Amino acid sequence: MNLYRFFVATFACAALLQPGAASAQGQDGKALFQKNCAACHQANGKGIPGAFPALAGNPLVQGPPAEVATVLLKGRGGMPDFSASLSDADIAQVLSYARASWGNGAGAVPDSEVAALRASLQAARAGTARLSNKH
């Protein structure tokens, strides 16, 4: 086997071993949710009645992506904004996870949509240093 074929075979095998985009996004979204959201909204998405709203079955979560992304970028009520601590890709992943979990049936959110919304809202850009969650 010549060197060219070796590299082609290696890259082809690596591509086959990579998880699909949706499953990789789901895992990252779940981890991001656990780190940044679950303390308030709970791991099961049911929230804490009277304190933190449920995300399971929530019409806002399942509605137009821009509406729920705006909440993460600007905050709302007692919820802080995550614009400076989560990148566009992070926000897209956590939203995609929440929109597809706990019986929710909404579609994934592309990071390009979050980026465009961030620009239109003039929300802060996420820093490169990652700290823990905002709480």
Q: Give the CATH number of the domain where residue 64 resides.
A: 1.10.760.10
Asked if the structure places residue 127 within a domain, the reply is: no
Query: Is 61 a member of any domain?
Result: yes
75 found inside a domain = yes
Residue 129 inside a domain? The answer is no
pLDDT greater at residue 89 or residue 6:
89
Condensed to tens digits (0 to 9), the pLDDT of residues 67-117 reads 999 999 999 998 999 999 999 999 999 999 999 999 999 999 999 999 999
Structural domain that includes position 46: 21-121
Residue 128 confidence (pLDDT) above 60? no
Q: Classify residue 7: in a domain, yes or no.
A: no
Tell me how crowded residue 92 is: count the other CB atoms within 10 A of its CB: 26
Number of domains, the chain: 1
For residues 96 and 109, what is the distance between their CA atoms, to the nearest angstrom? Answer: 5
What DSSP line would sit under 47-112, residue for residue?
-BTTTB---TT-HHHHS-HHHHHHHHHH-BTTBPP-TTTS-HHHHHHHHHHHHHSTT--PPP--HH
